[in-house]
Amino acid sequence: MERGKGEEKEPCLEDGVAAMARCYRGFNPTAYLQYNYTPPRADFTRPDSIVPWKLACLHRAFTEGDVGGEMLVDVGSGPTLYQVLSGCEKFGRVVLTDFLDVNRTELKRWLGEEEGSFDWTPYLQHVCQLEGRGASAWQEKAARLRSVVTEILPIDVHKPSPLPAGSLPSSGADCLVSSFCLESVSPDLASFTRALGHVSSLLRPGGHLLLIGALGESYYMGGPGVRIPVVPLDEAQVCDSLRASGYTLLHLSIYTLPPDMRVGVDDVTGIFFAKARKA
Q: How many CB atoms are located within 10 Å of the residue 1 CB?
A: 2
CA-to-CA distance for 168 and 205, rounded, in angstroms? 14
Q: Which is nearer to ligand ADE, 135 or 263 (CB)?
A: 263
Among 104, 158, 208, 278, binds ligand SAH (CB under 6 A): 158
> Is residue 2 a contact partner of residue 200, using CB atoms and an 8 Å limit?
no
Q: Which stretch binds ligand SAH (CB under 6 A): 125-133, 181-189, 248-256, 269-277?
A: 181-189
- Output the CA angle 136-141-145, nearest 5 degrees: 160
Among 72, 155, 163, 214, binds ligand SAH (CB under 6 A): 155
Judged by CB under 6 A, does residue 91 bind ligand ADE? no
Counting every residue written for the chain, the total comes to: 279
Judged by CB under 6 A, does residue 36 bind ligand ADE? yes
Select the binding partner of residue 217 from ligand ADE, ligand SAH, none (C-beta < 5 to 8 A, by kind): ligand ADE
Beta carbon of residue 11, minimum distance to ligand ADE (angstroms, whole number): 28
> Is residue 46 a contact partner of residue 52, using CB atoms and an 8 Å limit?
yes
Q: Which stretch binds ligand SAH (CB under 6 A): 73-81, 132-140, 165-173, 265-273?
A: 73-81
Judged by CB under 6 A, does residue 233 bind ligand SAH? no
Among 98, 106, 174, 266, binds ligand SAH (CB under 6 A): 98
CA-to-CA distance for 22 and 27, rounded, in angstroms? 10
Among 266, 275, 276, 278, binds ligand ADE (CB under 6 A): 266
Among 110, 120, 138, 180, binds ligand ADE (CB under 6 A): 180
Q: Which is nearer to ligand SAH, 76 or 207 (CB)?
A: 76
CA-to-CA distance for 5 and 64, rounded, in angstroms? 51
CA-to-CA distance for 180 and 35, rounded, in angstroms? 14
Judged by CB under 6 A, does residue 49 bind ligand SAH? no
Q: How many CA atoms within 13 Å lie on the side-chain side of 163?
A: 23
Judged by CB under 6 A, does residue 179 bind ligand SAH? yes
Classify burial at 137, counting beta carbons within 10 Å of its beta carbon; exposed 0-12, middle 13-18, buried 19 or more: middle
DSSP conformation letters of 21-84: HHHGGG--HHHHHHHHSSTTTT-TT-TTSHHHHHHHHHHHHHHSSS--EEEEEEET-TT--GGG
Q: Which stretch binds ligand SAH (CB under 6 A): 112-120, 154-162, 235-243, 260-268?
A: 154-162
Helix, strand or coil, per DSSP, at residue 223: strand
Interface ranges with ligand ADE (CB under 6 A): 36, 180, 184, 214, 217, 220, 266, 268
The residues of the shown chain that bind ligand SAH, judged by CB under 6 A, are 24, 27, 76-78, 80, 83, 98-100, 103, 155-158, 179-181, 184-185
